[in-house]
């Protein structure tokens, strides 16, 4: 695949180069066609290529073909697009640099700066220092060319700092060379010399670029000339010659086949001639001139002119002014066009004319020279003034900026101070609050502890009060118990004593009266007996001395027994009804005690039901797991305010009610012992329903 592409590439170039060669007659058209055809061929190849190094090299070839043509921009943009697409940022960087150089060549300074500014950060980020420093150097040269020497120095300084920051030796060399050039332009020769010497040392140390090395020597030679340091100038020229000759594999100038090097060699020899003359060694100078003269037909026209100028200098030196003048005339018209050489040449010619007797001509040239010098000085002054103004403006702007910055800093400081003071106040306030809160918390804790202690004391006091109340109640109950007891004993006892006395003392009593009295005495005896039994029962139960014997019983059977026992005792006017569920259930109870409760309910019902019915039975509440055994009557009923109290000892709704008033309190104890409770539902005039509720045990069914 790769081979295929290389072949395509070669074919493209070949077609582009060879095919147009057929049209040799129309040279301009042929050149144009050839370039276009190479371009077309390369474009075809380009489309088929992968976006790799080879692709970008091909693009570079196309760019080189159109260095001064807008097509250069087209290929540069293509390079940028493709590089961006394939994330090849080094080529993006190159595309920026290419455009900067393109615009530099076009003298479009704004566009040059636009692309340079775009490239600079990217080049540093990618560490593509070559691009960075090359454009930096270009900028310095540009500034010098525009007469902005001070700016050129600043730019060179920036380059130097960047090179130091990135520790880039090539960058350091480039920055030193830039600085040297800028210093030379500012006529600060010593500083220029130091910069170039540093650059030279770096180049020699790092075996740096040949072109840079030659450039360094050229500048050093020029500086030596400007400062009158001819011996050192000669030394540098010798070194430069050595370098050039080394480039020719150390085999001397004959091997110089590179056009550029060839001219460089001649140039350095002519420089040596110049220094040798300055060092007053015309013989050596002549030898050197001879060396160049031998090569005259092969060297460039410019170099030939330099040779003649050097010869003019030589003849001038040895006093052969006529020859010197004729040699100078060979180059005068050409060199006079260059502003940098103009003054020197005019001076030389005027001098030589004077030496050869052509005074009028010499005076004319001197006049021109003075006028030119004046205007040049003015121009120079103006340019320096304008630069100074620019620098002043920049400095002024900087000053204003720094003043603003200072003000800004001042207000920032003020702000910081205010914030600091507020923070300190806030801190003090928070600390104060904290201390306060801490104190309050401590107090709260203390008062909480106090509260707890108080609560405890209160609880103890309450317990003591309850205990005291219990004791008082007990004492009260005891008292009322004895009062009740004496009342309950005295009533039947009085009746027994009274009627017995009557029976004994009153002889006139009829038999019927006697029988009634005896019956009354018996009834009161029974009542006394019941009272004694009830009191004994209650006391045994409460002290836990009464034993309960629990067993499983069929509840229907128990209810049947209760019913049949009471059936005969029920007054005739009352109906005695039994309501039992279809399915019997088993209960775990003390049968005798359970019957005792039911008997008590039935006896009360008989006592307080003049007519209607008495109904007994039981129900199962599965949800609550309870069995309700009830005795319902249609008697006088019990008012609401009495309903709770009738379960208390000796309580009777009406004092004259028959009985001790202990029955229901005994029943309450029995129910509790069996895990149950008593309930009452009653309405005055309609009747009452007493129930004993027992727990239902599913496991024994
Ligand atoms: P006793 O042992 O004297 O029968 P109880 O404690 O059984 O006493 O009954 C207390 C009082 O409750 C009775 O004197 C009566 O006033 C009232 N009493 C109990 N059962 C009924 C009822 N079925 N109808 C109306 N009052 C009743």
**What 8-state DSSP symbol labels residue 631?**
E
Burial class (CB in 10 A: 0-12, 13-18, 19+), 537: middle
Burial class (CB in 10 A: 0-12, 13-18, 19+), 283: exposed
Q: Which residue out of 596, 604, 655 has the highest number of ligand 1 atoms within 8 Å of its CB and is therefore the one to mutate?
A: 604
Q: Is the CB of 327 under 6 A from ligand 1?
A: no
pLDDT of res. 653: 86
How large is the C-alpha radius of gyration of the chain?
69
Q: Is the CB of 659 under 6 A from ligand 1?
A: yes
Sign of the torsion formed by the C-alpha atoms of 52, 57, 62 and 63 = positive
Ligand 1 midpoint to CA 616 (Å): 17
Q: How far is CA 29 from CA 34, 37, 66, 283, 680, in A?
A: 8, 12, 17, 54, 134
pLDDT tens-digit series, residues 169-196: 999 999 999 999 999 999 999 999 999 9
- pLDDT above 90: percentage of residues in the chain: 46
Q: Is the CB of 16 under 6 A from ligand 1?
A: no
Nearest CA to ligand 1 atom 4: 659
CA atoms within 13 A on the CB side of 217: 24
- Give the confidence band of 250 by pLDDT, cuts at 50, 70, 90: low
Nearest CA to ligand 1 atom 23: 605
Task: Give start and end residues of each alpha helix (H) in 279-336.
Answer: 282-295, 301-318, 321-335
Q: Which residue out of 606, 659, 671 has the highest number of ligand 1 atoms within 8 Å of its CB and is therefore the one to mutate?
A: 659
Ligand 1 midpoint to CA 579 (Å): 23
pLDDT of res. 233: 95
Question: Rounded distance, CA 50 to CA 52, Å?
Answer: 6
What values do phi and psi take at 183, rounded to 5?
-65, -40
Burial class (CB in 10 A: 0-12, 13-18, 19+), 90: middle
- Give the confidence band of 378 by pLDDT, cuts at 50, 70, 90: low
Q: Which residue out of 612, 631, 653 has the highest number of ligand 1 atoms within 8 Å of its CB and is therefore the one to mutate?
A: 653
Q: Is the CB of 661 under 6 A from ligand 1?
A: yes
Question: Rounded distance, CA 553 to CA 701, Å?
Answer: 10
The distance between the two most distant Cα atoms of the chain, rounded to a whole number of Å, is 212
Ligand 1 midpoint to CA 374 (Å): 151
Of 396 and 144, the structure prediction assigns the larger pLDDT to: 144
Which stretch of DSSP H or E encloses residue 390? helix 359-505
- Give the confidence band of 457 by pLDDT, cuts at 50, 70, 90: confident
CB 588 within 8 A of CB 626: no
Question: Rounded distance, CA 158 to CA 144, Å?
Answer: 16
Question: Rounded distance, CA 155 to CA 176, Å?
Answer: 11
Nearest to 115 by CA among 124, 133, 102: 102
Question: Rounded distance, CA 173 to CA 181, Å?
Answer: 12
Q: Is the CB of 171 under 6 A from ligand 1?
A: no
Residue linked to tokens 């003298």: 107
Q: How far is CA 306 from CA 50, 214, 239, 579, 669, in A?
A: 51, 18, 21, 152, 147
Q: Is the CB of 688 under 6 A from ligand 1?
A: yes
Question: Rounded distance, CA 180 to CA 191, Å?
Answer: 7
Q: Given the DSSP bridges, would you call strands 687-695 and 677-683 parallel, antiparallel or unpaired?
A: antiparallel
Q: Given the DSSP bridges, would you call strands 612-621 and 626-633 parallel, antiparallel or unpaired?
A: antiparallel
Q: Is the CB of 633 under 6 A from ligand 1?
A: yes
CB 602 within 8 A of CB 631: yes
Of 600 and 343, the structure prediction assigns the larger pLDDT to: 600
Sign of the torsion formed by the C-alpha atoms of 269, 275, 278 and 280 = negative
Question: Rounded distance, CA 171 to CA 133, Å?
Answer: 6
Count CB neighbours of 50 within 10 A: 11
Q: Is the CB of 608 under 6 A from ligand 1?
A: yes
Atom number of ligand 1 nearest to Cα 654: 16
pLDDT tens-digit series, residues 383-395: 655 655 665 565 5
Separation of first and last alpha carbons in the chain = 100
Does the reported pTM lie above 0.85? no
CB 626 within 8 A of CB 695: yes
Ligand 1 midpoint to CA 553 (Å): 28
pLDDT tens-digit series, residues 260-319: 777 888 999 999 999 999 999 999 999 999 999 988 888 888 889 899 999 999 999 999
pLDDT averaged over every residue in the chain: 85
Of 449 and 546, the structure prediction assigns the larger pLDDT to: 449
Output the CA torsion 508→513→515→521 (10° steps): -100
pLDDT tens-digit series, residues 107-134: 888 899 999 999 999 999 999 999 999 9
CB 58 within 8 A of CB 87: no
CB 586 within 8 A of CB 700: yes
Mean pLDDT throughout 202-215?
Answer: 88
CB 605 within 8 A of CB 635: yes
Q: At what angle do helices 321-335 and 301-318 cross, to 10 degrees?
A: 150
Nearest to 63 by CA among 50, 53, 76, 47: 76
Question: Rounded distance, CA 182 to CA 156, Å?
Answer: 8
pLDDT tens-digit series, residues 338-354: 777 778 888 888 888 88
- Mark residue 107 as left, alpha or beta (left: phi above 0; alpha: psi -120 to 50; beta: remaining): left
Q: Is the CB of 600 under 6 A from ligand 1?
A: yes
Above 70 in pLDDT, residue 538?
yes
Above 70 in pLDDT, residue 652?
yes
Per-position b or e across 336-374, b if 16+ CB within 10 A of its CB: eeeeebbeebbebbbbbbbbeebeeebeebbeebeeeee
pLDDT of res. 17: 40
Ligand 1 midpoint to CA 661 (Å): 7
Question: Rounded distance, CA 600 to CA 593, Å?
Answer: 11
Count CB neighbours of 125 within 10 A: 10
Question: Rounded distance, CA 283 to CA 268, Å?
Answer: 18
pLDDT of res. 675: 93
What values do phi and psi take at 630, rounded to 5?
-125, 155
């Amino acid at each position: 695949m790769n081979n295929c592409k290389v072949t395509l590439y070669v074919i493209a170039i070949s077609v582009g180069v060879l095919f147009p060669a057929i049209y040799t007659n129309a040279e301009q058209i042929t050149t144009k066609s050839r370039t276009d055809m190479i371009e077309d061929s390369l474009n075809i190849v380009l489309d088929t290529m992968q976006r790799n190094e080879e692709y970008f090299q091909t693009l570079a070839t196309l760019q080189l073909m159109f260095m001064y043509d807008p097509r250069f921009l087209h290929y540069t943009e293509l390079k940028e697009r493709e590089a961006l697409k394939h994330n090849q940022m080094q080529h993006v960087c190159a595309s920026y640099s290419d455009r900067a150089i393109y615009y530099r060549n076009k003298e479009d300074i704004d566009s040059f700066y636009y692309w340079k500014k775009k490239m600079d950060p990217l080049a540093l980020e990618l560490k593509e220092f070559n691009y960075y420093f090359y454009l930096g150097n270009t900028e310095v040269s540009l500034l010098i060319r525009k007469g902005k020497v001070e700016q050129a120095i600043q730019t060179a300084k920036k380059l130097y700092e960047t090179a130091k920051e990135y520790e880039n030796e090539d960058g350091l060399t480039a920055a030193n060379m830039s600085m040297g050039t800028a210093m030379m332009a500012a006529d600060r020769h010593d500083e220029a010399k130091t910069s170039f010497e540093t650059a030279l040392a770096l180049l020699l140390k790092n075996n740096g670029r040949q072109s840079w090395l030659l450039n360094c020597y050229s500048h050093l030679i020029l500086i030596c000339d400007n400062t009158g340091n001819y011996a050192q100038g000669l030394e540098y020229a010798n070194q430069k010659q050595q370098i050039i000759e080394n480039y020719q594999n150390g085999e001397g100038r004959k091997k110089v086949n590179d056009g550029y090097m060839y001219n460089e060699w001649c140039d350095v020899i002519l420089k040596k001639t110049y220094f040798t003359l300055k060092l007053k060694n015309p013989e050596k100078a002549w030898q050197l001139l001879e060396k160049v003269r031998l090569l005259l037909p092969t060297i460039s026209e410019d170099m030939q002119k330099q040779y003649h100028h050097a010869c003019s200098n030589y003849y001038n030196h040895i006093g052969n002014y006529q020859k010197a003048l004729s040699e100078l005339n060979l180059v005068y018209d050409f060199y006079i066009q260059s502003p940098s050489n103009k003054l020197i040449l005019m001076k030389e010619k005027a001098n030589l004319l004077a030496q050869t007797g052509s005074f009028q001509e010499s005076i004319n040239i001197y006049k021109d020279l003075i006028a030119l010098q004046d205007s040049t000085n003015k121009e120079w002054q103006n340019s320096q003034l304008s630069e100074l103004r620019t620098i002043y403006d920049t400095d002024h702007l900087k000053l204003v900026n720094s003043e603003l910055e200072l003000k800004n800093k001042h207000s920032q400081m003020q702000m910081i101070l205010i914030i600091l003071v507020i923070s300190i106040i806030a801190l003090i306030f928070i600390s104060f609050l904290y201390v306060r809160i801490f104190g309050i918390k401590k107090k709260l804790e203390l008062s909480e502890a106090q509260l707890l202690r108080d609560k405890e004391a209160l609880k103890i006091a309450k317990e003591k009060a309850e205990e005291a109340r219990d004791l008082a109640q007990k004492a009260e109950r005891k008292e009322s118990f004895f009062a009740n007891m004496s009342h309950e004993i005295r009533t039947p006892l009085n009746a027994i004593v009274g009627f017995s006395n009557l029976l004994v003392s009153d002889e006139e009593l009829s038999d019927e009266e006697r029988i009634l009295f005896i019956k009354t005495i018996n009834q009161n005896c029974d009542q006394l007996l019941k009272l004694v039994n009830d009191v004994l029962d209650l006391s045994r139960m409460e002290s836990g001395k009464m034993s309960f014997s629990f067993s499983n019983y069929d509840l229907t059977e128990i209810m049947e027994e209760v019913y049949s026992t009471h059936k005969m005792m029920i007054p005739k006017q009352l109906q005695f009804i039994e309501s039992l569920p279809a399915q019997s259930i088993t209960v775990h109870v003390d049968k005798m005690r359970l019957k005792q409760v039911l008997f008590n309910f039935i006896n009360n019902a008989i006592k307080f039901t003049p007519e209607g019915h008495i109904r007994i039975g039981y129900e199962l509440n599965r949800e609550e797991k309870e069995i309700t055994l009830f005795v319902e009557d249609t008697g006088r009923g019990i008012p609401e305010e009495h309903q709770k109290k009738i379960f208390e000892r000796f309580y009777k709704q009406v004092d004259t009610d028959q009985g001790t008033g202990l029955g229901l309190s005994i029943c309450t104890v029995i129910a509790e012992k069996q895990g149950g409770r008593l309930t009452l539902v009653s309405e005055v005039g309609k009747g009452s329903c007493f129930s004993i509720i027992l727990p239902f045990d599913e496991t024994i069914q």
